[in-house]
Amino acid sequence: MEKGIFITIEGLDGAGKSTQIKFIKEFMENRGFQVLISREPGGTYIGEKIRDILLDREHHEMKDMTEALLYAASRAQHVEELIKPALEKGYVVLCDRFVDSSIAYQGGARKLGIEKVREINKFATGGLEPDLTIFFDIPPEISLERIPLEKVDRLEQEKIEFHRDVYNTYIALSKENPDRIKLVRADREISEISRDIKNVLVKLMKDMEK
Ligand code: TYD
């Protein structure tokens, strides 16, 4: 059985997740937890190779279904090789993106369908779900401006409408799962965002004591 805590971080590209992931790690470590940070796509040797295929700007011919299955493949490897074993050892696993990303990007924005993408990911993860998901709420018009042009990857170069669809799907998902997905307004000062995240984490730990 799982003993650890599985926390995922979601949001649009350029939402400022990385800075806050460091904050969460430190916060949880100060409370005596061992914390493992990982990311998707990637997180494992094989997963990082899949990531390179997915984000390569030259891969214009990639089909939407191929994309969805590659994200799920990277995830399957990640869950079995890294996430589950760490949770069994009692770690807090902090993951930059998970299934919700696929639902928002491939299901919503690529229009493959929420249910279909949910289904392939259920197969990929064996049904593993986060205990908590923090969604960095920032509209695409603001978040995309933060990404330096030379760093833009294959998905980030999509049009603004694509990112609007991603955003709207995330919002719909958070309404559907209010207990798991907590929104944090990310168009503010770093310290203000950290304060909100801290409150979410304190509540999570309180709920777990029950
Ligand atoms: P990410 O690592 O967050 O990008 P960066 O390091 O540049 O901030 O994510 C890479 C891209 O992959 C991002 O545009 C979102 C996309 N993505 C999906 O479309 N589906 C998924 O399931 C995942 C995990 C990511």
Q: What is the pLDDT of residues 133-184, one digit of tens each?
A: 999 999 999 988 888 888 888 888 888 999 999 999 999 999 999 999 999 9
Amino acid at site 75: R
With a cut of 70, list the residues of the chain below it in pLDDT: 1-2
Residues 134 and 200 sit within 8 Å (Cβ to Cβ): yes
Q: Residue 162 CA to chain centroid, in angstroms?
A: 17
4 Cα to the center of ligand 1, angstroms = 25
Strands across the sheet containing 35-39: 35-39, 92-96, 5-11, 132-137, 181-185
192 Cα to the center of ligand 1, angstroms = 25
Contact 108 CB / ligand 1 (< 6 Å):
no
Q: What are phi and psi of 11, to 5 degrees?
A: 155, 175
pLDDT at 156: 86
Contact 102 CB / ligand 1 (< 6 Å):
yes
Going from the C-alpha of 47 to that of each of 75, 87, 122, 143, the distances in angstroms are 7, 19, 18, 26
> How many structural domains comprise the chain?
1
Q: Residue 196 CA to chain centroid, in angstroms?
A: 18
Ligand 1: atom nearest CA of 41 is: 24
Q: CATH number of the domain at 186, please.
A: 3.40.50.300
For residue 26, give the nearest of 197, 204, 203, 208 by alpha carbon. Answer: 197
Name 5's Cβ contacts closer than 8 Å, sequence gap at least 6. 33, 87, 92, 93, 131, 132, 204, 208
For ligand 1, atom 20, name the residue with the nearest CA.
102
pLDDT at 208: 86
pLDDT at 146: 86
Ligand 1: atom nearest CA of 99 is: 22
Contact 153 CB / ligand 1 (< 6 Å):
yes
Residue 158 to residue 5: CA distance in whole angstroms? 34
pLDDT at 129: 98
Contact 40 CB / ligand 1 (< 6 Å):
yes
pLDDT at 2: 61
Contact 155 CB / ligand 1 (< 6 Å):
yes
Residues 93 and 6 sit within 8 Å (Cβ to Cβ): yes
Contact 41 CB / ligand 1 (< 6 Å):
yes
10 Cα to the center of ligand 1, angstroms = 9
Contact 169 CB / ligand 1 (< 6 Å):
no
Domain that holds residue 151: 5-209
Buried b (16+ CB within 10 A) or exposed e, 132-170: bbbbbbbebeebbeeeeeeebebbbebeeebbbbbbebb
